[in-house]
Each structure stands twice: as C-alpha cells, then as structure tokens.
C-alpha cells in the first residue's frame, strides 16, 4: 500500500495479516470506535545510526498505556522490540527514525462511549523523522491547564490528551511563540505543550515534580539520571511560571526532539546555556550516537 506523497518513508506492520506495508496505511473505518471516540494508546521511540535508546521502556509503556484505557495489550514487550528492529532494518542506517507502537479499539462496548477490549487492534509504524536542529525555540504561558488523574488518563500516552495540548500550541503561535508552558489545575508549571521542561539557576537544574498531571517522560527520567550521575544537582519541585521567567536557562526533553534549548520566554531572550549543553551531550553519549559538530 502506498500513502500520500506528503508523508516521509514509512513502514507499518499490521496485525490483520502479520505483514509489513509501505506508506501511510489506512487502518480505521468510519465506524471504528477509536476514529471518533479516541480509544487510542501509543508510544514513540527513536532510532538513529542503528541504535534505539530505551526502546524497551517505550515498548513497555505502550502496553501500560493500553491497559489504562481498557484496551488489551496483545503484544509482548519482547515482540514489539523484535518487530521494531525488523522494521528499522528496512531503512538506511543513517536516517533518524520514529518508532510508534499503537493500540486502538475497533468496536464499542456495552455503551457507545466505552471501548470493547476484545476488539483491540494494533500496529507498529516506523518512519523517517529527522532530528530537530537544536537552534532553540520561544515559549509563553498558556491559559489552558493540564487535567488531573480524576478527569483524564494523564498517566498514559493516549490520543485523547493531545487536543488539549494542541489548544495551547495554537494559542502560543497566535501570539508569535513556538511553544507553550502549561500549568496544572493549581497553577503550578507542569510541562510544555509538546515535552517536559527544565530550567537552571545558579548551577542547579530544576524540573517540575511529577505530580500526576503530566507524563513523566522516559527521556525526562533518563536526563535526570544522567545529570545526577555527572555530579549536577537536579531538583524536582513544585514550580511557578515566575521561576522560569527568572531562570538562567531553560531546556526541554522529549522523545521526538530529545534535548533542545528554549531561547526566549515572553520578551526575554535566553542563552543556550551550559546545563542544556551538558544534558544534550550526556544523552548523546548514553544513546551511543556520534558526537554532534559544534
């Protein structure tokens, strides 16, 4: 099957025939429960230069996220990993890839809204996705908030959470910024609209404590671990927007872009600072990827 020419090179392994298909494969119909009621769980890992850091953790989280929205995690972590490497080998080894295991509900349950776990389907999609050039981006405060666990499955990577973050992105871009700082329902900073957020002040790195209102990212956890092992003090704390307004530097972590700097918060320019540079270098070394040219 061949997808739109607007998509990068893509291979997808489908559950229905246990085969790889090339392109943007259509997988849902108009009656598919997930297509209109959002019963979708997924995850994303990266592969580059033949290496895929923390692939096992991303595959395990895909299964955990599925279970949290009452889907059946039908694929073992080991099989996800095996299929991922099979798919990675279909690409040029130098190309940066995005690896996306996904579950969704085909049918509804006893009521229209709830998914039928027995109708769970799955696929693994791998596609070319160049690494973001770390030139930096601008942020501002969003009026929209992160929900709590009582209102949304914020402890899972699921499709229903993303429209709210998209509201923050559209709002920020309408104001001339590239991303948004999103707070929790109490007004404490939770994350960016697309990734986790860090700041540095007086040689100490800070990041919002994982309080159950945002996903405690795998790359976030890895960067905290790497910085601490390198002797840098990292504090997870309840943080205000004012803390970030007065930071020495700000950077973000996430699987898609890994570690990238924030170079402007509102009207204040920020340097690409040493803590960001250290975090990115440490991550690249952990991943085993070639050192970046300066």
Read off the pLDDT of residues 166-185 as tens digits, 9 standing for 90 and up: 999 999 999 999 999 999 99
Q: Helix 218-229 and helix 274-287: axis angle, to 10°?
A: 110
**pTM, to two decimals:** 0.94
Residues of the chain with CATH 3.30.470.10: 10-128
Residues of the chain with CATH 3.20.10.10: 137-287
Read off the pLDDT of residues 90-122 as tens digits, 9 standing for 90 and up: 999 888 999 999 999 999 987 778 999 999 999
The mean of the pLDDT values for the chain is 95
Q: Which range has the worst mean pLDDT, 5-19, 33-47, 262-276?
A: 5-19
Residue 3 has pLDDT above 50, yes or no: no
In whole angstroms, give the CA distance from residue 44 to residue 96: 13
Q: Does domain 137-287 have CATH number 3.30.43.10?
A: no
Read off the pLDDT of residues 217-252 as tens digits, 9 standing for 90 and up: 999 999 999 999 999 999 999 999 999 999 999 999
Q: Does domain 10-128 have CATH number 3.40.50.2000?
A: no
147 class by beta-carbon count within 10 Å (0-12 exposed, 13-18 middle, 19+ buried): middle
Q: List phi, psi (to 5°) of 234.
A: -120, 125
């Amino acid at each position: 099957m061949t997808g739109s020419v607007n998509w990068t090179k893509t291979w997808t392994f489908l559950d229905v025939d246990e085969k790889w298909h090339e392109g943007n494969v259509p997988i849902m119909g108009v009656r598919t429960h997930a297509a209109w009621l959002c019963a979708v769980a997924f995850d994303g890992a990266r592969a580059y230069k033949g290496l895929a850091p923390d692939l096992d953790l991303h595959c395990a989280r895909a299964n955990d996220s599925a279970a949290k929205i009452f889907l059946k995690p039908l694929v073992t972590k080991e099989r996800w990993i095996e299929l991922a490497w099979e798919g990675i080998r279909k690409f040029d080894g130098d190309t940066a890839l995005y690896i996306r295991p996904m579950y969704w509900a085909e049918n509804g349950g006893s009521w229209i809204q709830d998914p039928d776990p027995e109708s769970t389907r799955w696929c693994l999609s791998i596609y070319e996705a160049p690494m973001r050039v770390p030139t930096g981006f601008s942020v501002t405060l969003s009026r929209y908030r992160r929900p709590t666990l009582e209102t949304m499955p914020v402890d899972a990577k699921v499709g229903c959470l993303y429209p709210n973050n998209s509201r923050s992105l559209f709002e920020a871009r309408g104001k001339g910024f590239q991303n948004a700082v999103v707070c929790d329902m109490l007004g404490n900073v939770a994350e960016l609209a697309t990734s986790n957020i860090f700041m540095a002040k007086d040689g100490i790195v800070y990041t919002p404590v994982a309080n159950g209102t945002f996903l405690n990212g795998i790359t976030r956890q890895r960067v905290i671990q790497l910085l601490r092992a390198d002797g840098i003090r990292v504090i997870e704390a309840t943080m205000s927007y004012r803390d970030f307004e007065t930071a020495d530097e700000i950077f973000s972590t996430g699987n898609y872009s890994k570690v990238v700097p924030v170079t402007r918060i509102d009207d204040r320019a920020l340097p690409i600072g040493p803590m960001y540079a250290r975090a990115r270098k440490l991550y690249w070394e952990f991943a085993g990827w070639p050192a970046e040219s300066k």
